[in-house]
Amino acid sequence: MTGRTNTERILDAYLAPEADRLADRVVEAALADIARTSQRRSLWPAWRSNRMNTYTKLIAAAAAVLVVAVVGYQFLPSNGGTGAQPTSTPSPSPTAAPGGVVQYQLDGAPATTQVELVADGTTVTGTAVTTFSGGTHTVRLESAAQDGDTWALTGTTEETTVPGEAAGDWSAVVVRDGSPQQIGIWLSDAKLEGSDCDGWLASIDPAEIDADNFNSVESGALVPPPDLAP
């Protein structure tokens, strides 16, 4: 048991019925002693409150760690199963339409050839119009052929302002692919009785045409029909 303090004994003596009344100085001394005595019981609520604050801090810290872990997990790369992710197949680029427009030098002067055609194998329909210093030459296209990197579009001269040439003759645009592309214009060849465009074209070997008959394309390009046999 806890021993009785001096203060308690003094108060008991003061309050006892049979005791003489104590002097005021004794009472004042007792009150001063009470004021100096620490109230130890008041420490427990404060200590308990401190423990509760610590628990709250620990819980808050744990919750913060959990939130960081969950948010971080959202940014982790997904495996998406075993093995490498399949790569998307690139879409094929659209095939350029046959024909086109090219600029080049012919007889030392600027020239332009514009080809518009529709092809079905070696059979073609459309026009090839060449404009240069000598005039304008228009060919109604009928046939096409290819030999290696050289291909030709042939047909009948529809109209021409080039001196010495005549409508109704055979004519051809011959192209040799490369960098740069080369172009040659066969202005006319008289039609023989009973000849047709395919027969006339078959008599021409585009690969054997001399390089001096070609001119380097300076801008643009001509595209051959898609189904020609190389």
Separation CA 188–CA 160 (nearest Å): 10
Q: pLDDT per residue over 4-21, tens digit each?
A: 556 666 666 656 655 555
Q: pLDDT per residue over 159-185, tens digit each?
A: 999 999 999 999 999 999 999 999 999
Mean per-residue pLDDT over the chain, rounded: 77
pLDDT at site 206: 74
Tell me how crowded residue 84 is: count the other CB atoms within 10 A of its CB.
7
> Residue 188: phi, psi to the nearest 5?
-160, 150
Pair 153, 128: CB distance under 8 Å: yes
pLDDT at site 177: 95
Separation CA 201–CA 205 (nearest Å): 8
pLDDT at site 84: 56
pLDDT over 90 (residue 229): no
Q: pLDDT per residue over 91-132, tens digit each?
A: 444 567 899 999 999 989 999 999 999 999 889 999 999 999
pLDDT band, very low/low/confident/very high, at 50 (cuts 50, 70, 90): very low
Of the candidates 148, 157, 147, 222, the one whose C-alpha atom is nearest the C-alpha of residue 184 is 222
Q: HSE-up of 109 (CA within 13 Å, CB side)?
A: 7
Q: HSE-up of 103 (CA within 13 Å, CB side)?
A: 5
Q: Can you spell out the DSSP letters for 118-137?
A: EEETTEEEEEEEEEETTEEE
Pair 148, 207: CB distance under 8 Å: yes
Task: Please tell me which of 27-41, 65-79, 135-149 the model is most confident about, judged by mean pLDDT.
Answer: 135-149
State how far the alpha carbon of 105 is from the alpha carbons of 109, 187, 208, 217, in Å: 5, 16, 22, 8
